[in-house]
Amino acid sequence: MQQLEALTREARSLASGAPVLTAPEAEVARQMQICNACRYCEGFCAVFPAMTRRLEFGKADIHFLANLCHNCGACLHACQYAPPHEFAVNVPQSMAQVRGQTYAEFAWPPALGVLYQRNGLTLSLALAAGLALFLLMALAINGTLTGGNLDGNFYKLFPHNLLVGLFAPVFGFALLALALGVRKFWREVSPATTGAPLSGPAAAEAVDDVLRLKYLGGGHGEGCNNEDDAWTLWRRRFHHATFYGFLLCFAATSVATLYHYVLGWSAPYSMTSLPKLLGVSGGISLLAGTAGLFWLNLRRHPLHGDAAQKPMDRGFIALLFLTSLTGLALMLGRQTSALAALLAVHLGAVMALFATLPYGKFAHGVFRTAALLRHTVEKRQPTNLQLGDE
């Protein structure tokens, strides 16, 4: 019966020239038809107000809404049609499934989109390769992983230019791949979101929504759901710790780069220097944030999100945790004989993180920001619907 429905759907969309929906996309369309006739959840987030501007849900609308959804869980617990109801509405879950597909579909180069599907394996292989690369290089250069005369200066092991030569291309590629992926997404969803160009106020609102993680607030500011129908602010707090910790670490590296190239000050820097202060606080924040997110993820309600994406979520959290942990360990153990090993492990983790940025959980931030930008543009445009009801 379902197969028949899928075939009918396909025939109909082929006849109308509209793109064929995948099964998860058709499921979102089905659920949105129910939600649009109910609308109780309008106050929770951006998805439902965006939904009410539509009567039908095409592929681009579905991609847009799926990436707008923050998987906060509020609408699932409030839903009169959630399982075991026969309508089986679970918006966070169906949106997550489409979201996973969009990451793969919009990946650049397209062939690498498959890396999303087995993301746990992707991350493991990247990490193993990163570790092997730097451990072997350290051995080759230093002759040993547990000693040598490095004197706390890791440029003696890996010269600055060697590190730049290894990391810059990988990081540059990651940025390029993410940019091209999100550009493709933007081009698809823009016509479906009025096509109006991005304005200053719309951009400012979307940036504010991102930086404050507005939509993990539940609409009332008391937070979103994790293990049950009670609200919690801890998902937002741990995400903030992770996100801002990541930014602080990034800032530490950027400042150090400026020191190196502009001011000619070489590492290692003192504990009270700006790169160190930024890096240490960022590292600790990242450690706390990822540990918290992991703990919450383990306790997450089984109906939230797409179970198939758990390895991707947890793999990314674990890799961020490992990166900050090894970074902090390196700082503490710099004067010991473990320097070479610690450095190699840290650089291996960072390399794995950079290499997989465009093909893992990191992409959610990029695509969601794009969706929020389109949402803040769209909501400023007039709607042509004039609904009245009971």
Partner 1 sequence: MDTDVLVIGGGNAALCAALMAAEAGARVTLLEAAPRDWRGGNSAHTRNLRCMHEAPQDVLVEAYPEEEFWQDLLKVTGGLTDEHLARLVIRASGTCRPWMRRHGVHFQPPLSGALHVARTNAFFMGGGKALVNAYYRSARRLGVQIRYESPVERIELREGRFVAAWVKGQCVTAASCVLAAGGFESNRGWLREAWGQNERGEWPADNFLIRGTRFNQGTLLRHLLDDHGADRIGDPTQAHMVAIDARAPLYDGGICTRIDCVSLGVVVNRDGERFYDEGEDFWPKRYAIWGRLVAQQPGQVAWSVIDAKAVGRFMPPVFPGEQADSLQELAGKLGLDPVAFMHSLNAYNAACRVGTFDHTALDDCRTEGLAPAKTHWARPIDTAPFYGYALKPGVTFTYLGLKTDETAAVRFGGQPSRNLFVAGEMMAGNVLGKGYTAGVGMSIGTAFGRIAGTQAAQAALRQGVADAAA
The full DSSP string for 14-82 is HHHTPPPPPHHHHHHHHHHHHHHTT-GGGGT-SHHHHHTT-SS--HHHHHHHHHH-----HHHHH-TTS
Q: Which amino acid makes up residue 6? A: A
Query: Cβ closer to partner 1: 224 or 312?
Result: 224
How many angstroms separate the CA atoms of 52 and 68, rounded?
Answer: 14
Query: Cβ closer to partner 1: 162 or 230?
Result: 230
Paired tokens of 85 = 């109801």
Query: Cβ closer to partner 1: 79 or 351?
Result: 79
Q: What are phi and psi of 232, to 5 degrees?
A: -140, 145
Q: How far is the CB of 306 from partner 1 (least distance, A)?
A: 21
Q: How far is the CB of 208 from partner 1 (least distance, A)?
A: 20
Q: How far is the CB of 52 from partner 1 (least distance, A)?
A: 5
Q: How far is the CB of 305 from partner 1 (least distance, A)?
A: 19
Query: Cβ closer to partner 1: 37 or 271?
Result: 37
Q: How far is the CB of 201 from partner 1 (least distance, A)?
A: 21
Query: Cβ closer to partner 1: 88 or 284?
Result: 88
The torsion defined by the Cα of 83, 86, 91 and 96, in degrees rounded to 10, comes to 80
Q: How far is the CB of 78 from partner 1 (least distance, A)?
A: 3
Task: Enumerate binding residues for partner 1 (CB under 8 A).
Answer: 33-34, 36-44, 49, 52, 55, 74-75, 77-81, 84-87, 219-220, 222, 229-230, 384-390
Q: Kindly tell me the burial class for residue 341, based on how many C-beta atoms sit within 10 Å of its own C-beta (0-12, 13-18, 19 or more).
A: buried
Query: Cβ closer to partner 1: 187 or 220?
Result: 220
Tell whether the torsion through CA atoms of 223, 224, 229 and 234 is positive or negative: negative
